Every structure is written in structure tokens, then in C-alpha cells.
Amino acid sequence: MKRTEIKQLLAECKFGDTVNVKGWVKAFRQNRFIQMNDGSTINNVQAVVDFEAMDESLLKRITVGAAISITGKLEESQGEGQKFDLIVEKIEVLGDADPDEVSKTVMQPKKHSLEFLREQAHLRFRTNLFGAIFRIRNATSFAIHKYFNDGGYYHIATPIITGSDAEGAGEMFRVSNLDPKNPPLNDAGEIDWQEDFFGKETNLTVSGQLEAELAAMALGKVYTFGPTFRAENSNTARHLAEFWMVEPEVAFYDIHDNMDLAEDFLSYICKYVMDTCPDDIQFLNDRELKEDQMKPQAERNEMSLIERLQFVIDNDFERITYTEAIQLLRNSKPYKKKKFKYPVEWGSDLQSEHERYLVEKHFKKPVIIRDYPASFKAFYMRLNEPQEGVPGDTVAAMDILFPGIGEIIGGSQREERYDVLVEKCKAFDIPEEDVWWYLDTRKFGTAPHAGFGLGFERMVMFTTGMSNIRDVIPFPRTPKKAEF
């Protein structure tokens, strides 16, 4: 008999239907009631066993974590919390799970710390929490592809191995097949990279943006969605060494077009996830509310997960300049009462505490900040004309700030003027020979264009309400951690 997924069973099947369900045992009570789940939904189905008619040796094998197949008839449940009972006619154990071994793992049906769950990342998929997270991650990913596909964008696969540093930060993982114990040396006694596989120094990419720009200048509008890597020794709840980036690039766009696109894009994702994963969202919403009850008032979320998602869908994003943001922060109560940990002054980057104040306290809506100082932004961002009342050079850059998370998108209008871009490369100590191909595009029909980057895991943090980025990617890569 063909298997019916539990999600389909709960949505489409009727009382009296005979079905076959396969999944893993979540609980087995009183030798009679089996809670089982197959990953298609957070909801379990309850199977009812006539234990007197069952082989005792078979019943002993029905343990938490075991994989089983059940064929039976659906009847209206006599208990609370479920619509159906599956009255067992035939049961088969597909894979045993030793209760003694299960008791040492995250599969044991009790509350586990997130740190313990990370130590068993190969098994944490089996928990309700991570089942919900990764179904929502999938929906978030699909929403991104659907948004761009429906909008006529072309998906571009950009290189994972690259000879350039898109961010100019230098924090990259080197790719080499030279013998680390005995590398070839040149006459100066330095490593001779010409002897390496690619004949030059290469690294894992930090961004597909530069290559996506090249495609946008021919195809009009494109996007990348791929893995990126940062060799940054950062052990925070918001950083990974390996993560996924979404980067659209659009020809003939200026910074204002870019902000319009990013706002519409983020609102679309939130609505899609809300519509597609209501049970998982509700589960995570309720979990967060329970967790918050155990925290001091100051550490609790001001809005629930569902309220935060709805907050993005319902509100037009506030748009201000960096200079205006600095003025607002300096006039704020936290600044005047010296509550901010980091300084607030023109020319310094905004910190998470500043961003969250603007979003959650001042405007109470998502915020887009544009026209940042050129001093701490990337070389490829378009230099603005001097602005009255602004004490230094600015670039046409923008960041989008969300409640609970701070910056979620960073983007800019790209510098399309060849001579200005050459000067910026010099200022950032980027050799022209390393980005000759990028500069070259400014010689052949250059035009205004813009784009942004969305850290995919940051977005999943927002759609799930999880506070640590290591809990929204299956196998996190962080300093000293590359398990699984």
C-alpha cells in the first residue's frame, strides 16, 4: 500500500479511510498509544494498538526514535489534541532504536539546551524545535527563489573559488593544493603561487556580488543564492564562517529603486512564510513566549514572533539618512543618560544597540538608513555628491534594520564611473590587476546599477525567532568547530 504523509493525512483524509503511515516514534504510552511523526509537519498522528492482539516481542521494539510502518483505519479521536486516531491493523518496525542509547541523545523526549542540541547536530533534526526551524528555512529559501523568478530575474551561479576579495576585508579562506609542509618557493624565498593549481592565490568567496554585476550589465536583473565564507575569528550569536547569501543586482537602478526592491522583497518573504508554515510559526511563537516568561523583563521580546513578522508585512519602512540617524540617536534618552555602550558620532559605524533603538523604540517600524560615510563602506559603492550639512564624503549605501535583529540587508548603488572606481581601488589598496575585469565593464556602456546582499541565515533567524545563528543552519561552521 502506498504511504501517506502525515501532513497530507491530516489535511485530506477522512474517517474510515485505510492508510499506510511511516515515521519515527515520538512516544509510546500504556503499550497502546503511539505518537509518530514523519517530518512533513510538526503535528503527530496517534496510532492506537490492541496490545492484547499484538506479538509482545514486536511491542517491545516500539521505542522512542524507532522507525515504523503502520497500516490501519482512521477513526475520530476519543482524546484531545488530535482529529484522528489510526487504528492499527498492521505494524512493522523498519529500524530499531535502543532506549539506553536514545536516553543519551537529543531524541530523549525532554527539554534540552540549545548548546547540547548543537553538539548533536546530526540528530537535532528529530526534535520538534529543529523540525520546525528547517521547514521554515526551506519555505524562506523557496520564497526567495519564487520572488525573483516571478519578477523575471535570472539566477546566476557565481564562483565559490575566487581570486578577488569583494569586500576588501582580507578575511578569506585560502584554497591551495600545494604541500603545506614543503611549498615551492620563488627566488625571494616566498611561496611561489604560480606553482599552485590555479597559478595564483585563490580563496573561498566572501560574496558573489562583483560577478553578479557583470551579468546584470547584460541580462538586466539577476540574483545569486550561494554559500559564502569569512575567516573571521568571531564567536558571536550572529556570525558564521560559512553562510548563504542572496544578492540581486539590477541594471539602471539607483539607490531609491534598490530600497524599493529590498522592502518589497522582505515583506514578501515574511508573508509567504506566515501563509505556508502556520503550524511551525505558531509552535515557535508559543515556545518563545514561554522562554521569555523565565527572563528578566528587560531581556524579553517586546513583540512575539508572529507580531514581528506581521510588523514587517503591515508597515512601510521608514527611510532616513545616516546623518539624520546620528542626530536622532544623539537626541535620544539613552544617549543623554549614557545608556549606549558604543559612541554615537558622525563617521563611526552604527552598532546593534543603535539600530535596535531606531527600529524598536523611536520609529517602531523597519528602518532603511542610506548615505553612509565613505570611510567604512566598500570600494564599489557609488560616491555621492557633497551634501550640505554633511561633514564628510558619503556613498549611496543603504542598510535595512529589523526588530530584534538589527541590520538584515546591506546594499548600495554601485560605482559605475571608471575614473572614480579606479581611484577608490587605490584608496582601498586593491591592485587593479586583481579586478581588471570588474573595471573593464565600466568601459563598455557603463550605466547606473544597484543591488544588495541578504544574509540568508539572518533572514531565517527572523522568520523563526531564533536568537543564535548557529541554530538556523544544519551544520554551523564557526572558529574551532567543523564537526559533521
Q: Which three cell numbers stand for residue 17?
A: 479511510
What pLDDT, on the 0 to 100 scale, is given for residue 470?
96
What pLDDT, on the 0 to 100 scale, is given for residue 299?
83
Q: Which three cell numbers stand for residue 227?
A: 554559500
User: Mutual orientation of helices 255-276 and 278-293 as an angle, nearest 10°?
Assistant: 90
Cβ(247)–Cβ(118) below 8 Å: no
Residues 6+ apart with CB under 8 A from 53: none
Q: Which three cell numbers stand for residue 363?
A: 520609529
Q: Which three cell numbers stand for residue 172?
A: 578569506
Q: What one-letter code names the amino acid at 329?
A: L
Q: pTM for the complete prediction?
A: 0.94
DSSP 315: S
β-bridge partners, 93: 68
Tell which residue, 26, 178, 53, 49, has the closest CA to residue 108.
26
**Domains of the chain (ranges, CATH numbers):** 6-103 (2.40.50.140), 128-171+206-471 (3.30.930.10)
Q: What one-letter code names the amino acid at 261?
A: L
Successive 10-residue mean pLDDT values, the chain, 484 residues: 96 96 97 96 96 92 97 90 91 97 94 94 96 98 98 97 72 93 93 94 94 97 97 87 97 98 98 98 97 88 92 95 97 94 94 92 95 95 93 96 90 97 93 92 96 97 96 96 91
Instruction: Give 242-297 as a DSSP string.
Output: EEEEEEEEEET--HHHHHHHHHHHHHHHHHHHHHH-HHHHHHHHHHHHHHHHTS-G
Instruction: Give 94-109 as a DSSP string.
Output: EE---HHHHTTSTTSS
What pLDDT, on the 0 to 100 scale, is given for residue 453?
97
CA atoms within 13 A on the CB side of 256: 0
In Å, how far are 183, 312, 332 from 455, measured between CA atoms?
36, 17, 30
**Order of strands across the sheet with 318-321?**
154-155, 221-229, 242-251, 449-455, 406-413, 394-402, 367-373, 318-321
What pLDDT, on the 0 to 100 scale, is given for residue 82?
82
